Structure 1
Amino acid sequence: MTPPPTALPRSVRAGYGSGSVATGAFGTVPGLMLLPYLTDTLGVAALLAGAIVLLPKAWDVVLNPYAGRLSDRTVDPRGPRRPWLLRGGIGLALGFALLFAAPTMPLAAEAAWVLLVFLATATAYAFFQVPYVAMPAELTDSYDERTRLMTWRVAILALTILVAGGTAPAVRDAVGGRDGYRVMGLLMAGLMLVGVLSAYAGTRRAPVRTVTAGAGGLRDQLRIVGGARDFRLLLTTFVVQALATGAMLAGVDYLASDVLDRKAASTVLFLCFVGPALLLTPAWARVGERVGKRVGYSWSSVLLALGALGTATAQVAPLPVVFAFTALAGVGYAGCQMFPMAMLPDAAAVDARRTGSSRVGVYTGVWTAGETLGLALGPGLFALVLAVGGYRSSTTGGTAQPDSALTAITLGFGLVPAALVVASLWWLRHYSITADTVATSERVGP
């Protein structure tokens, strides 16, 4: 018999959730500011800038499953995941402090600096993020408790994204020039380090369950995970939506500066998009408890798509209307962050209960690889749209753009993400894990 699940202490929920300070800052600031840094400060052409943003994240797609497998097999008195929080997290903060700190060099050398430092930082992030995401499946067996745990994580994530995404452009603009980017990078690195240390300390008393790691090599494990239909459907949905939100985040600075002609509007747009997650994540959690996670995820996806579609009117609509549509997208975005994070440990736990072997690290490695790929392809897709529209890069910013580039910015920020979110619903509608599925797997588990 499997013992009845118990509620996690509030201190553990908060401690675990604090890791989102690191993941939120790293997931937001490069996507928001690295592409403009390359095109409008270093003067890198849009297509090359998109490749520089994409390639280190593409490396993570390969690396993440290995990081998960390694943490599955780690034996340590602190547990298999927590040592990696500290190792990967410290490397993440150090790498980010250097990312925007390139000395003045020829353009090719500056571009190479960004590429290599971003590659090293993304590697460290993999060894923090994958074990971090793996932990919920081992912290509790409860379907609903995982939702509550994710509520803490997403609420802190939303607050971090709000603070980091709103502060980073403001610091850059206040200091000005390349020094503005350097100061911003140091500040964000310090914020990430706070999240890393808080997660490590806050989970020291977490009730981690011991489950035997899955047999076979990594390739065997990946084959088994890839054959898990519900996980595959959920992952595909999430990756397509990560691609959409990655494109929107990459477009914030361009939409504000070039289309709305108000550089300060970038902070308002960002707050409109991310702010609702801070307020509405508990509400989406209650929706999930009443109608199920899949239905709640579908509803939030529709709102995200409608809001993104509305922002495609930015060239002609009044500014408050653009902000309102961005906020509507943010309401949907809140649910689109919380629900899949709560559904992932369900899929991993169902597999572990049925087989008696834990592949949670491999599951989360594949998951974070997909998320990383989507968030990396988003700016890459936006950069491609800019290039097609004839966007003009510069070393000073403020260059007048042709009408075709303004149209490209608007489509890349609004219409393209809306279409991607709508397309993602095709996979989500076939997902079948429910609270009853999880309960059944627990009864038949070893």
Structure 2
Amino acid sequence: MQTPDPMTGAGDQTGRSLSRLQLLAYGLMGLPLAAATLPVYILVPSYYAVELGLGLSAVGAVLFAMRLWDVVSDPLIGALSDRTRSRFGRRRPWIAAGAPLTAAGAWLLFSPGEDAGLVHLALSAFLLYLGWTMVMLPYSAWGAELSGDYYERNRITAAREGFVVAGTLVAAAAAALSGESERTTGLMAVGLFVVVLLPATALLMFRSVPDPPPDNRQRIDWRQGLDVLKQNRPFRRLIIAWLLNGVANGLPATLFLLYVDHHLKAPDKSGALLLTYFLLAIVGLPFWLWLARRYGKHRVWCAAMVWTCFWFSAAPFLGPGDVWLFAAVCVSTGIALGADLALPPSMQADAVDVDTAATGGAARTGLYFALWGMATKLSLALAVGLAFPGLEALGFDAAAAQDAAVGAVSNTTPLAWMYGFAPIVFKLGAIALVWRHPLGAADQADLRRRIEAEEQTDASR
């Protein structure tokens, strides 16, 4: 096998096995990228609305408007990064341009002055969202292109997603340690973390990880490309399953604090339980990679979802004081989260091979991962949109639940069932789609042979 040049990535990437250093260099950038996004969902809205006095409705409207920009930017940046021609590769220039925007947006958003208003919020959020998309989409596509091997893609995805979870923990810890009275300090700490670490990890990746050179094969027009995308059966099934599973994971994430605070009556344990959940996700990653090598990605992902359903089914039957029993739920479902993080994006990389083999042209990895990212964001939005209206429709009274903490009586049964049962419904739908996933190791190997034969034919012309 030809040895790739570390700067251009020239050489055969099909069966490439990355060294541990290269895996580390690739995955490490997920740490600051994750740290840059968690505060936007958890800390920024309340900080700008309450502490800076801008109002919940106004802040929510601004952040929602900025998020709508993703509908335009995601597919545009994904498609453009596929078409980029540069002596430095396709993905590296986009990350180099997007990293400073992300860092600047994070610093401006997380360290506003006392006189910061809605214009400051809008501009800084716009910079952060745009820069993050310019980095994350090429970064994900780059990982999918590092190897065409069915199993090696699991290692690459796991390296990235493991550091994403670690970045989430860093941001959560900064917020927790700062406390409500020092929220400004916590936000600034996260902003500084991103400003320093994002450029540093990007430089490390640029020097250590090959970026495949521009794909000069013929590109199909967008109408034909859309037809091929619609006919990509593995992709269709996978992205719908990913959406359903995303809602299933988003619902308990949205309701976690309510469940622990009001149903278990253990608000002082929420931080430790959440930390346990994410730590076990990292611990479980090697186990799921080992299983996937033996039994295939889609079957192992299904097994992990079934395991999660089993443990979530216990949540509605727990009650006040059952903290240790719920800790067992957090440990068990946290382990299964590792499969959710590593295996579906690896399967998505395989689905891109279906498209490349069908068109016989240049790979459209960036576009596919842009659609993947949009499905991820939609699942989070649906989870929030279903959780709170669903609780209200079922008769859960948050005010009464708050009073119950000091002695009043409140019915938290709707909360417990929404937290524990609703995710199972969505996961079962995902399992039904994935169980017969029509793209295993042998199928993907055949696709790679067809793609390589086409590449060799084009090169000889």
The TM-score bracket by the shorter chain reads 0.7 to 0.9
Q: Distance in 2 between matches of 1:45 and 1:400?
A: 28
Indicate the larger mover: 35-44 or 320-329: 35-44
Pick aligned residue for 2:427 from 416, 421, 426: 421
State yes or no: 1:325 paired with 2:329.
Answer: yes
Matches within 5 A, 1:31-70: 31-33=41-43, 56-70=66-80
Of 224, 230, 234, 2:234 maps to 230
Call closer, same or farther: CA 1:307–1:38 in 2, change over 3 Å.
Answer: farther
1:163 aligns with one of 143, 153, 170 = 170
Report the AA paired with residue 372 of structure 2. Answer: W
Does residue 146 of the first structure (1) align with residue 116 of the second (2)?
no
Consecutive unaligned residues in structure 2, runs of 5 or more: 2-11, 455-461
Structure 1 residues 35 and 268: alpha-carbon distance in aligned structure 2, compared to 1, 3 A threshold: farther
Pick one of 306, 311, 317 that aligns with 1:307: 311
Q: TM-score normalised to the size of structure 1?
A: 0.84
- In 2, distance between residues paired with 1:367 and 1:56? 19
Which of 338, 344, 349 is the equivalent residue of 2:342? 338
**Aligned partner (choices 80, 88, 91) of residue 78 of structure 1:** 88
Q: CA deviation at 1:67?
A: 1.1
Which residue number in structure 1 is paired with residue 140 of structure 2? 133
> Cα deviations across residues 121-157 of structure 1 (Å, max 9, x unaligned)?
2232211111111012321121121112122223222
Pick the structure with greater CA Rg: 2
Partner of 1:384: 389
2:187 to 163, 185, 188: 185
Alpha-carbon shift at residue 245 of structure 1 (Å): 2.1
Residue 352 of structure 1: which of 342, 350, 356 is its match?
356
State how far apart, in whole Å, the 2-side matches of 1:391 and 1:40 are: 20
* C-alpha deviation, 1:87, in angstroms: 2.5
Tell me how many residue pairs correspond in the alignment: 434
Q: Which runs of 5+ in 1 are unaligned?
A: none
Match for residue 294 of structure 1?
A: 298
| Pair 1:374 & 2:379 matched | yes
> Is 1:97 aligned to residue 102 of structure 2?
no
Indicate which of 195, 212, 219 corresponds to 1:215.
219
Distance change >3 Å, CA 361–CA 81, structure 1 → 2: same
Work out whether residues 99 and 114 of structure 1, in 8 Å CA contact, stay in contact via their aligned partners in 2. Answer: yes
Query: What corresponds to 2:246 in structure 1?
Result: 242
The answer to whether the Cα contact below 8 Å between 1:233 and 1:430 also exists between their aligned partners in 2 is no
Classify 1:391/1:316 alpha carbon distance in 2 versus 1 (closer, same or farther; 3 Å): closer
Query: Which structure would you say has the larger RCO, counting Cα contacts within 8 Å and 6 or more residues apart?
Result: 1
Q: In the alignment, residue 429 of structure 1 is paired with which amino acid?
A: W
| SS of residue in 2 equivalent to 1:252 | helix
**Partner residue of 2:131?**
124
Query: How far, CA to CA, are the matches of 1:227 and 1:282 in structure 2?
Result: 34
Q: CA 1:414–1:347 in 2, change beyond 3 Å: closer, same or farther?
A: same
Change (3 A) 1:59 1:214: farther
After TM superposition, the score normalised by the length of structure 2 is 0.82
User: Aligned residues: percent identity?
Assistant: 23
1:169 alignment partner, SS class: helix
**Is the CA contact 1:155–1:281 (under 8 Å) kept in the aligned structure 2?**
yes
